[in-house]
Chain A
């Protein structure tokens, strides 16, 4: 039990729990989940559903960050995905059919994979720093999305497409199932195959990995494509939610929320060891925070202030220096902790 605080998920889970407790105290009905028309409803369900796009983006981001990278372009990619899908549906001969929706989704995801390949090319082949390589698409991406939509907010009326954002399957919202599904697949693929270890190896020491024969290029390319794919899914979800593609605002700053989720989850921005469970906790934390702030009667715009506080708290918790500073202060007291640990 004494080792519990040292577990990498201890602090993220504690923070999430505290936040949930605050909600329960503020509104006791918070934990209630009720069944209505075969659908589950309740604040917890809402949190999971609202957090789904961030979770998706954060999953891709986790792997990218583990390779010492970062993907700033995910917000722009999400906007492009929504734009491509909506413009395709709106322009097709049969804008209401499921077939059109499926084609649109496939087309959008294919575009995202291409964009991921592009990011991967800049990072792994040209060897450009990830932050700047993806900054290119971050800057240009929304322009491209506007190019696709012609600067308009493109609205569609397709029930199948809408279901990606707001539909239900087996009593649960599709968005939740989709994001948890991607989480499960990612976890399975990274830990049951050697992808996780090779990603970590490349993140910890790229040159040593190269000389050990690791195909770093393939690994990097894989994670950037995966990140773009996840961003595309999130973008489709966002567009489906409103049945519209807003090139300017869809997925705005989702890259920052995703990075935040990854960092809260205990994966270091310096690369290396990563935790998908941590990322899930981080994404849930951000989604819960967004719900909590208005719930306890604070204007939702101040959400930013709380995020700032969270970022600072997480940084300080993860910083060995800050821990050492606290430790030194605590050291003056009888050193029972030290003795107990030994």
Chain B
């Protein structure tokens, strides 16, 4: 056996363990994303005045809090080897439900609960269909996407403004940090979601089973793991995150509209991929997805700082970045396989 030369496990010294330690290969792409982010900021600060200010960094979080939450949910799904196309539509539906219920005079808390419940149930339903009827995630969540968009139009074809005091004040609220910096409460919510997600993924049986299912669903099943609970659960989580993201988005836009968040699922998927998660499942970190969102945000900051670049360069550069990361991942896994 090729391992014959390594010392016996039980007698391993601490030094051996430290020497033998190398970061798990799934961390490498995350480091790459981080390096990219730092690099982009470096370039930005050289080219544009005021680019490297701390508030610009904080604004990345402020402007993309909803996307961070979406990307976290998407990470769960993609880790199991699935995909969730419904997130953009669920965001729109969430803004609609929030706006419509508030207009109808519901207390804000009840409206929030209604939104979160709807999103979670929708995700749960998709998960059930995917797991129990063995329908491909792509197509099942496509149905969810159509369903959520259709429900939006059922509520109203027009945009509904949100005039509720709680929402208005939350939307305007900011938390001042030392050095005349500020963030919004939505940022704290988004970061809390990231932390909870990381905790669940790494320290709970559910989380490890997510990775196991992504590694090999058959194996996970034969190992007697709760595959059903995980496979249904990740879509419910993604549905919940979409709804929560939708709430943050409605705070950002202060309206509900059927055409909100068109194509946002692509941004979420792009963020997850740029964050180093393999679309085949089993490898990836939720922190990576956070960094992925920040990279997307930085591109937009770049374009708004530049002023001469047209808006379509956002799409083109996201596409280009996606390409770079996908190709890098490809070579990375190919080398790992041989």
Q: Which residues of A approach B to under 8 Å, CB–CB?
A: 70, 122, 126-129, 131-133, 135-144, 146-147, 151, 247, 256, 259-260, 263, 269-270, 299, 301-308, 311-312, 315-316, 318-322
Contact = CB atoms under 8 A, between A and B. Distances in A.
Interface string B149-166: 111011001000000000
Contacts of B316: 140, 143-144, 147
A127 B334 contact: yes
A140 B83 CA distance: 20
Contacts of B189: none
Contact of B273 (A132, A151, A312, A315): A132
B136 A270 contact: yes
Interface string B119-136: 000000000010011111
A129 B129 CA distance: 24
A305 B266 contact: no
B138 interface: yes
Interface stretch (B1-9, B216-224, B318-326): B318-326
Contact of B279 (A131, A137, A259, A311): A131
Contacts of B266: 135, 138-139
B134 A321 contact: yes
A139 B143 contact: no
A139 B274 CA distance: 13
Contacts of A131: 83, 138, 279
A318 B146 CA distance: 19
A304 B314 CA distance: 28
Interface of B: 83, 129, 132-136, 138-140, 142-147, 149-151, 153-154, 157, 258, 266, 269-270, 273, 279-280, 310-316, 318-320, 322-323, 326-327, 330, 334
Contact of B150 (A70, A127, A136, A302): A302
Nearest to A263: B139
Contacts of B135: 315-316, 318-319
The 3 closest A-B pairs by CB, nearest first: A140-B319, A143-B315, A305-B150
20 contacts: A122-B326, A132-B279, A132-B322, A136-B326, A139-B266, A139-B315, A140-B316, A140-B318, A142-B315, A256-B145, A269-B139, A299-B157, A304-B146, A308-B143, A308-B146, A311-B142, A311-B143, A311-B146, A316-B135, A319-B134
Given A129-B280, A131-B83, A142-B315, 10 more contacts: A143-B315, A144-B312, A146-B312, A151-B312, A259-B139, A305-B151, A308-B143, A311-B139, A320-B134, A321-B133
Contacts of B258: 301
Contacts of B318: 139-140
Contacts of B313: 143
Given A140-B315, A146-B312, A305-B150, A132 B326 contact: yes
B330 A70 contact: no
| Most chain A CB within a 10 A radius of its CB, from B140, B153, B279, B323 | B323
A208 to B, nearest CB: 18
B278 to A, nearest CB: 9
Contact of A135 (B140, B143, B269, B312): B269
Contacts, number: 132
A140 B149 CA distance: 24
Nearest to B318: A139
Nearest to B316: A143
A302 B153 contact: yes
A304 B83 CA distance: 20
Given A143-B312, A143-B313, A259-B142, A304 B149 contact: yes
B157 A141 contact: no
A321 B146 CA distance: 23
Contact of A308 (B144, B314, B334): B144
A308 B142 CA distance: 8
Contact of B143 (A143, A144, A315): A315
Contacts of B132: 321
A229 B135 CA distance: 30
A143 B321 CA distance: 14
Contact of B147 (A247, A308, A322): A308
Given A302-B154, A311-B139, A321-B134, A139 B270 contact: yes
B146 A307 contact: yes
A70 to B, nearest CB: 7
Given A302-B150, A315-B140, A126 B315 contact: no
A296 to B, nearest CB: 16
A214 B138 CA distance: 29
A303 B150 contact: yes
Contacts of B322: 132, 135-136, 139-140
Contacts of B140: 311, 315
B276 to A, nearest CB: 13
A299 B135 CA distance: 29
A128 B154 contact: no
B100 to A, nearest CB: 15
A147 B312 contact: yes
Given A305-B146, A311-B143, A128 B133 contact: no
A303 B153 CA distance: 10
